[in-house]
Amino acid sequence: MMEENQNPLRVGLCGIGLEAYWPQFDGLRVRLDGYVRQIGKHLEKTGASVEFLGMVDSPQSGRDAGHACLRADVDLLIIYVTTYALSSTVLPMVQRAKVPVLVLNLQPQAAIDYDAFNRLPDRTAMTGEWLAFCSSCSVPEIANVFSRAGIAFNQVTGVLGDEAVWSEINAWIQAARVKKALADNRLGLLGHYYSGMLDIMTDVTQVSISFGCHIEQLEVDELSAIRGTVSEAEIAKRIELFRSHFDVQSDCAQEELARAARTSVALDQFTTAHDLQSLAYYHMGSGVPANEDTMSSIILGTSLLTARGVPVAGEYEVKNVLAMKIMDCLGAGGSFSEFYGLDLNANHVLMGHDGPGHIAIAESKTKVRPLAVFHGKVGRGLSVEMSVKHGPVTLLSIVEDAAHGFKLLAAHAECVSGEVLHIGNTNSRYRFPIGARGFVEAWNAQGPAHHCAIGIGHLSGCLSKLAQLLGIPFLQIC
């Protein structure tokens, strides 16, 4: 869902060791090369494109491997510490590669078989066997040099082939994919901020610096103009699509369905023309009937876009559409939400929002309802009503951070059944392990904007890794 075959995650993989060992210990190099190939095969199963750099065992081979990383344009460098290796071998490679680094400190088994080890015929054979287990020996040396050089790095420690190790490596690969997707993301900004919402006003230059995405400033007039070219046949076909994806309520007027269909078709063309992978929008449209007509009929079209991997956030919420994009890249959806209220009798938090809904993570088929007024906004039209799938969820907010530009703020919860408000908006109930009061106070203390993205599943493990790859803080409330 999140990785396109024509642009896969590119991973540089090498083993590191010490050149002086190979003539001293018969079979050691072949054995260690085999361990590196095991990692490579696993990485290929994840869909990553692997650039094999071989066994890096000298400063010169380290420099060569670094240049190979540059030529292959790798997104992540994985260094398997197969045995003791000099830090002078690793440093030039990483300095030249200039990409995030994952260090694998993996033994072939959980422990040396001491009885078998001590029965080996001589101490040379014993030393060779020990060297196949001494990955951990070199990691402090490498970490020391990386720290002094200001090079961030990440680690996985354990046993080669262990399920827990594969799970950790997979999470790093997933986080690296999200980082790449953010860097490739073309984020469209359509319209302007909702006047007075100071919390969502964002330095978009810092957005590009922190996440690497391109930001495209767009005009509502262009969307309205495209809307005027949509044919009656296209409108009829889109209404059929609405009925297949939504539970269209009987009180939805055909005229309103046609308005929404016209805008939805235009949105698809608009998104394709600008090659958008995400979109944040808001526009009053007051005084320009064509623009008011466009913006008051946009919700069904933006919901369809969101469900197929182009997340759309209302109220020009730049930070939150990036949070939605992260959730979508993780296959978790990313529903645009804010606090609706507290049910202190049940110890639940009610959350939802007007505007686009992520229909792919709805508990049941999303309803389409007519609204005579869009509260606090201009116009009227069709809206969507849904609850997020019941079960474990993660809340994610991208929050301004004075030292690092942004930080990721997350919380685990459970979406639960119960009464919600039938007001034509997304609306769900959430139960938090620290209770409704505890969650709200802890969350608000971090200074997030009033919106967040909600995705299915507990995702903090991958989100924390993403934050490390991005070089920004991560905080989990619960």
- pLDDT of residue 375 exceeding 90: no
- Average pLDDT on 396-425 reads 92
pLDDT value at position 27? 95
How far is CA 217 from each of CA 188, 189, 286, 294, rounded to the nearest angstrom? 6, 5, 20, 18
pLDDT band at 406 (very low <50, low <70, confident <90, very high): very high
Q: Where in the chain is the domain with CATH 3.40.50.10940?
A: 10-182
**What letters, b where the CB count within 10 A reaches 16 and e where it falls short, cover 431-465?**
bbeeebeebbebbeeeebbbbbbbbbbbbbebbbb
Contact 432, 392 (CB under 8 A): no
pLDDT band at 156 (very low <50, low <70, confident <90, very high): very high
pLDDT value at position 425? 78
pLDDT value at position 288? 87
pLDDT in tens, 278-290: 999 998 777 788 9
pLDDT value at position 7? 79
Q: CA 469 from chain center: how many Å? A: 11
For 226, the enclosing helix (H) or strand (E) is helix 220-227
Q: Where in the chain is the domain with CATH 3.20.14?
A: 185-476
pLDDT band at 383 (very low <50, low <70, confident <90, very high): confident
pLDDT band at 54 (very low <50, low <70, confident <90, very high): very high
Q: Tell me which architecture the domain covering 10-182 has in CATH.
A: 3-Layer(aba) Sandwich (3.40)
3-state secondary structure of 343: strand
pLDDT in tens, 315-339: 999 999 999 999 999 999 999 999 9
Average pLDDT, the chain: 93
Between β-strands 186-191 and 154-159, what pairing exists: parallel, antiparallel or unpaired?
unpaired
The phi, psi pair for 263, rounded to 5°, reads -70, -40
| Whole-angstrom distance, CA of residue 280 vs CA of residue 292 | 17
DSSP bridge pairs for 354: none
Question: Which CATH number applies to 185-476?
Answer: 3.20.14
| Whole-angstrom distance, CA of residue 97 vs CA of residue 314 | 39
pLDDT value at position 377? 62
pLDDT band at 373 (very low <50, low <70, confident <90, very high): low
For 426, the enclosing helix (H) or strand (E) is strand 426-431
pLDDT in tens, 78-136: 999 999 999 999 999 999 999 999 999 999 999 999 999 999 999 999 999 999 999 99
pLDDT value at position 421? 76
DSSP bridge pairs for 81: 16
Reference 325, options 425, 413, 207; nearest CA is: 207
| Whole-angstrom distance, CA of residue 239 vs CA of residue 260 | 8
Contact 452, 397 (CB under 8 A): yes
pLDDT band at 376 (very low <50, low <70, confident <90, very high): low
Amino acid at site 132: A
Concatenated DSSP letters of 338-383: EEEEEETTTTEEEEEESS---GGGBSSPPEEEEES--TTSS--EEE
The lowest-confidence range among 17-26, 372-381, 388-397, 416-425 is 372-381
The lowest-confidence range among 148-157, 161-170, 381-390 is 381-390
pLDDT value at position 2? 41
pLDDT in tens, 170-213: 999 999 999 999 999 999 999 999 889 999 999 999 999 999 99
pLDDT value at position 3? 42
Amino acid at site 356: P
